[in-house]
């Protein structure tokens, strides 16, 4: 089974959304090779800029990554249901920009809760950011963990989908 990108490989773009920092990671796999990290990074926006400008920056960066890697799936961390409703609403704007960027390219979208991602990558849904980064490093055989932690969380979102059994079944 090959990926839908026509290259005989699966590519998953994982995203940890945020309006200040959005982390992303691109993980690839072919039928005869283990998962590998193709790229990871962050989108940093300035708190001094209006929210619509920050959302546009996130949208354009995600759109660029989708264009460069042609992923089969965009795996996005779902909104954390915390006590701060305003933070959840603001995060929802960032997620909306990410989902729109994927939808405009007709890329499949998979959504996972923070606990699901941690459980898939670390083995426990209550893992710390350091534990997630360490396991991402180990599972992808990297010399160092992706940094900053938001990038590692984006890679973890991609790995969660890869480990869900939906890639190269």
Catalytic annotation, residues:
16, 77, 150
Q: What is the rounded CA–CA span in Å between residue 12 and residue 25?
A: 8
CB-based contacts of 17: which residues, under 8 Å, 6+ apart? 58, 76, 77, 91, 94, 95, 98
> What is the DSSP pairing of strand 36-44 with strand 21-30?
antiparallel
Q: What is the rounded CA–CA span in Å between residue 32 and residue 135?
A: 22
Cβ-contact 117, 23 below 8 angstroms: no
Q: What is the rounded CA–CA span in Å between residue 101 and residue 70?
A: 12
Please classify residue 48 by burial: count the beta carbons closer than 10 Å to its beta carbon, then call 0-12 exposed, 13-18 middle and 19+ buried.
exposed
Length of the chain: 169
Q: What is the rounded CA–CA span in Å between residue 132 and residue 157?
A: 10
């Amino acid at each position: 089974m090959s990926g839908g990108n026509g290259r005989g490989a699966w590519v998953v773009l994982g995203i940890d959304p945020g309006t200040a920092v959005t982390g992303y990671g691109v993980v690839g796999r072919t039928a005869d090779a283990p998962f590998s990290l193709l790229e990871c990074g962050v989108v940093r926006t300035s708190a001094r800029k209006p929210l619509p400008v920050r959302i546009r920056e996130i949208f354009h960066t995600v759109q660029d990554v989708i264009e460069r890697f042609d992923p089969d799936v965009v795996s996005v961390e779902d909104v954390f249901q915390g006590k701060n409703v305003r933070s959840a609403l603001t995060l929802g704007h960032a997620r909306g920009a990410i989902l729109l960027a994927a939808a405009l390219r007709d890329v499949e979208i998979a959504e996972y809760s923070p606990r699901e991602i941690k459980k898939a990558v670390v083995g426990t849904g209550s893992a710390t950011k350091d534990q997630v980064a360490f396991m991402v490093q180990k599972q992808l055989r990297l010399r160092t963990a992706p940094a900053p932690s938001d990038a590692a969380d984006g890679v973890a979102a991609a790995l969660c989908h890869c480990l869900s059994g939906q890639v190269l079944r």
